Amino acid sequence: MQYGFGVDIGGTTIKIGLFSVDGDLMEKWEIPTNKTDNGKYILTEIADFINRTIETKGIEKSDVMGVGLGVPGPVNKNGFVSVCVNLGWNSLNVEKEFHQISGLKVKVGNDANVAALGEMWQGAGKGYQDVLMVTLGTGVGGGCVLNGQIVSGIHGAGGEIGHMPVRDDEKTPCNCGNHGCLEQYVSATGIVTQAKKMLENDKRPSSLRDYDCLEAKHIYDEAKKGDVIANELVDSTCKILAKALAQVCSVIDPEIIVIGGGVSKAGDILTSRISTFFKEYAFHACKNTPIVLAKLENDAGMYGCVKSLF
């Protein structure tokens, strides 16, 4: 039997999964992300954990087809990361270094891209070869899979949907340094920021004013209950996202669009409204592209990391 390890490296924790090559997640673990000395020990600790696991489970090293690594930053086709702010990395050939440390075959990809690949392989995009995925969380990630392959681009920035410019009048800078990025409006952080602005300027009654610490979940929950301001916020958010998706679809024309990330837990209210606005904006050939919720949740990255090995 052959095995693969999928490793999703986050700023706080590292998720590690042991898979069969058929796509069965056999076991998974989490270890803390050691960002000491600009993440100097991250790759070593992952390699040590995997090699200990191989030994403990009595797996022959020759039966391990490799390790897929997902990292929160742009990765070029050679596994090189120019900068990875959340981990403290700068100018690091992750693929080469991890292979030297572990002795295993390795493939490195951007975390959102590999999540898209995972959803295509064993999630909501199963059965399709051309998948566009958007993850709505603290920020906005994206991944494009065409003909079953990740589109990473020459700089590793393929799929950076969250940093599409959508407004010219935004004064507050995005985390990337630009202004008016999609992420500033449709992420969990973005919709809360827009809500606070609206509540300050709009004196209509709203149940959103009852929350001491307003979160994206509250906005979607109150919209489902009929709150007028909450519904206007959800409409505005979904309209902006739908327009961005329509633009992307005019370029790559995917078979399906998958919505993931923490915000996707809002459910049908999210996908139904995005779909409604998408039909208004999309090129006629793309109007009926299905928009669905992701299925693999936080495990999508691990699945995609393994799939990237073959």
Give the pLDDT confidence of 68-82 residue by residue, as tens digits: 999 998 999 889 998
- Read off the pLDDT of each residue in 157-184 and give the average, rounded to a whole number: 95
Residue 33: pLDDT band by 50, 70, 90 thresholds? very high
Q: What CATH topology corresponds to 3-111?
A: Nucleotidyltransferase; domain 5 (3.30.420)
Examine the pLDDT at 232 and tell me if it is beyond 90.
yes
Examine the pLDDT at 193 and tell me if it is beyond 90.
yes
How crowded is residue 42: how many other Cβ atoms within 10 Å of its Cβ? Answer: 25
Examine the pLDDT at 301 and tell me if it is beyond 90.
yes
**Percentage of the chain with pLDDT > 70?**
100
Give the ranges where the chain is alpha helix by DSSP (H): 36-39, 42-56, 94-102, 111-122, 183-186, 188-201, 216-225, 228-252, 268-281, 300-307
- Element at 144 (helix H, strand E): strand 140-146
Cα(197)–Cα(115) distance, rounded to whole angstroms? 32
Residue with tokens 């990740």: 150
Residue 305: pLDDT band by 50, 70, 90 thresholds? very high
Cα(57)–Cα(16) distance, rounded to whole angstroms? 15
Provide the terminal-to-terminal Cα distance of the chain, rounded to the nearest Å. Answer: 15
- Read off the pLDDT of each residue in 56-66 and give the average, rounded to a whole number: 96
- The dihedral formed by the CA atoms of 221, 222, 226 and 228, expressed in degrees to the nearest 10: -140
Cα(120)–Cα(126) distance, rounded to whole angstroms? 5
Domains 3-111 and 124-294 share a fold: yes
Whether CATH 3.30.420.40 fits 124-294: yes
DSSP-assigned letters across all residues of 5-20: EEEEE-SSEEEEEEEE
Residues 6+ apart with CB under 8 A from 165: 178, 179, 180, 181, 182
Cα(257)–Cα(144) distance, rounded to whole angstroms? 10
Residue 86: the pLDDT is 85
Cα(112)–Cα(120) distance, rounded to whole angstroms? 12
Residue 269: pLDDT band by 50, 70, 90 thresholds? very high
**Tens-digit pLDDT profile for residues 86-123:** 899 999 999 999 999 999 999 999 999 999 999 999 99
Residue 134: pLDDT band by 50, 70, 90 thresholds? very high
Strand order in the sheet with 131-136: 149-150, 140-146, 131-136, 256-260, 291-293
Examine the pLDDT at 175 and tell me if it is beyond 90.
no
**Percentage of the chain with pLDDT > 90?**
94
Residue 114: the pLDDT is 96
Q: Specify the pTM.
A: 0.91
For residue 258, give the 3-state DSSP assignment.
Answer: strand
Spatial CA neighbour of 19 closest among 304, 297, 258: 304
Residue 250: the pLDDT is 97
For the chain, what are the domain ranges? 3-111, 124-294
Cα(51)–Cα(132) distance, rounded to whole angstroms? 34
Residue 265: pLDDT band by 50, 70, 90 thresholds? very high
- Read off the pLDDT of each residue in 45-61 and give the average, rounded to a whole number: 97
- Read off the pLDDT of each residue in 175-198 and give the average, rounded to a whole number: 96
Examine the pLDDT at 85 and tell me if it is beyond 90.
no
- Element at 53 (helix H, strand E): helix 42-56
Beta-bridged to residue 44, according to DSSP, are: none
Residue 71: the pLDDT is 95
